């Protein structure tokens, strides 16, 4: 069985580092979209309920999956259609208002439920994705909301499209400040949030709250998290024989190969075909031929004693060797975010606490010690 070992201490340590960076006066919103970047949204909520000030997801379905675990507000970052908005409001979610949102219908749904719809207004400061694009448009929207009794403006936010670039970040921040003046002219004081993980490293981006995603889970290398599977079978290969679909790999000599029980349906990218390496018994083993849906083959010709059932590490540590997620992402011409979020639901998440760490406190389903 393929398993994703997740170190709970590491997530808490990452959060503590972020809290220290932004200070106690700035709220921290833990972004748990895409199943908490692959780390398991329900477990992450359990871990951070007493730490985070806010949570955020991208979809209504994601909110509904975690709402029973939440004891802090949760924002759905993506604008919803009318039907989804109604469900979200009635279930206690905070929703995003963008250029195409139907304010009257949102107000009516809230009025029928005898509640106020808690909304965050999305502001487009240059990414050209969702959001209000010009201050005049925001002015009209705020004027309209004043006439609607069942909508409460809770937040106003934007998103940095290149947070590591000082020039573009400054330009976006200046536009965000221009929007802030419009809110002030309406005597409206929402929670302003602008920074993502990278953006939060600059205090000028903090405002009232920062939204932290990837850096919560895997901001540091080396990491204790690891993705593993096992050897299903050993095969002897003669010179000239092919391996896997398409016959693109042909043995140039007699070889010994391991069939590893994980494939692209589990999250191992096909871009690793005949390019990637894994760790078996603490040694590197090259992936041979195309990655299959449920398995791939690895060269164990020079590795002694490999047998069925032995651990195969796709990323993480095996004895003294280590493969980082960044290394895997580079080979796949992508970013580490995609490697983590591609780990599918059929991969079992195993949560553990690193021994002797100062923040050990187990939650349901976790184990103490190394994976």
| Tally: H helices and E strands in the chain | 11, 20
Q: Say yes or no to pLDDT of 33 above 90.
A: yes
Whether the Cβ atoms of residue 71 and residue 54 lie closer than 8 Å to each other = no
Domain 8-218 coded CATH 3.20.20.10: yes
Q: pLDDT tens for residues 227-281?
A: 999 999 999 999 999 999 999 999 999 999 999 999 999 999 999 999 999 999 9
pLDDT for the residue 357: 55
Please compute the mean of the pLDDT values over residues 223-229 and round it to a whole number: 96
Q: pLDDT tens for residues 57-110?
A: 999 999 999 999 999 999 999 999 999 999 999 999 999 999 878 899 999 999
Q: pLDDT-based confidence at 355, cuts 50/70/90?
A: confident
| Residue 348 per-residue DSSP state | E
Listed in sequence order, the residues at least 6 apart from 184 whose beta carbon sits closer than 8 Å to its beta carbon are none
Q: Say yes or no to pLDDT of 153 above 90.
A: yes
Question: Cis before residue 339, ω within 30 degrees of 0?
Answer: no
Exactly one of 83, 105, 239, 245 is catalytic; name it. Answer: 245
Q: Assess whether 340 carries a catalytic annotation.
A: no
The arrangement of secondary structure in 226-354+362-368, i.e. its CATH architecture, is Beta Barrel (2.40)
The tokens describing 140, both together, are: 């009209």
d(CA 66, CA 61): 9
> Between helices 103-112 and 135-146, what is the axis angle to 10°?
30
Q: List the one residue out of 315, 256, 318 whose CA is nearest residue 281.
A: 318
pLDDT for the residue 99: 86
pLDDT for the residue 367: 57
pTM for the whole structure: 0.92
pLDDT for the residue 325: 96
Whether the Cβ atoms of residue 169 and residue 135 lie closer than 8 Å to each other = no
d(CA 267, CA 72): 31
pLDDT for the residue 362: 47
Q: Assess whether 245 carries a catalytic annotation.
A: yes
The string of DSSP codes covering 136-205 is HHHHHHHHHHHT-TTEEEEEEE---SSTT-HHHHHHHHHHHHHHHHHHHHTT---EEEEE-TTGGGSGGG
Domain boundary assignment for the chain:
8-218, 226-354+362-368
Exactly one of 5, 27, 33, 179 is catalytic; name it. Answer: 33
């Amino acid at each position: 069985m393929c398993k994703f070992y997740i170190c709970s201490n590491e997530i808490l340590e990452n959060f503590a580092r972020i809290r220290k960076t932004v200070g106690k006066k700035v709220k921290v919103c833990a972004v748990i979209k895409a199943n908490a970047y692959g780390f398991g949204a329900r477990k992450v909520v359990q871990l951070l309920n007493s730490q985070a000030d806010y949570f955020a997801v991208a979809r209504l379905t994601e909110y509904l999956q975690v709402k029973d675990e939440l004891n802090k507000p949760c924002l759905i970052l993506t604008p919803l259609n009318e039907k989804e908005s109604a469900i979200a409001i009635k279930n206690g979610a905070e929703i995003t208002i963008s250029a195409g949102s139907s304010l009257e219908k949102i107000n009516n749904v809230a009025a029928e439920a005898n509640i106020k719809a808690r909304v965050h207004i999305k502001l487009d400061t240059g990414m050209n994705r969702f959001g209000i694009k010009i201050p005049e448009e925001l002015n009209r929207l705020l004027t309209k909301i004043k006439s609607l009794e069942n909508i409460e403006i809770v937040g106003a936010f934007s998103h940095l499209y290149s947070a590591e670039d000082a020039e573009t970040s400054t330009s976006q921040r200046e536009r965000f400040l221009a929007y802030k003046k419009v809110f002030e002219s309406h005597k409206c004081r929402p929670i302003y949030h602008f920074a993502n993980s990278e953006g939060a490293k600059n205090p000028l981006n903090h405002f009232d709250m920062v939204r932290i995603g990837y850096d919560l889970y895997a901001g540091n290398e080396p990491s204790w998290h690891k993705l593993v599977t096992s050897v299903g079978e050993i095969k002897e290969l003669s010179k000239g024989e092919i391996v896997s679909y398409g016959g693109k790999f042909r043995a140039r000599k007699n070889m010994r190969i391991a069939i590893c029980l994980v494939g692209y349906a589990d999250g191992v990218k096909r871009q690793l075909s005949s390019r990637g390496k894994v760790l078996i018994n603490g040694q590197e083993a090259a992936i041979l031929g195309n990655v299959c849906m449920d398995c791939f083959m690895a060269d164990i010709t020079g590795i002694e004693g490999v047998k069925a059932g032995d651990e195969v590490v796709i990323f993480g540590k095996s004895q003294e060797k280590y493969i980082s997620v960044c290394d895997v992402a580079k080979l796949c011409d992508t970013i580490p975010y995609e490697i983590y979020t591609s780990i599918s639901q059929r991969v079992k998440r195993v949560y553990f606490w690193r021994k002797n760490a100062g923040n050990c406190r187990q939650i349901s389903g976790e184990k103490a010690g190394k994976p």
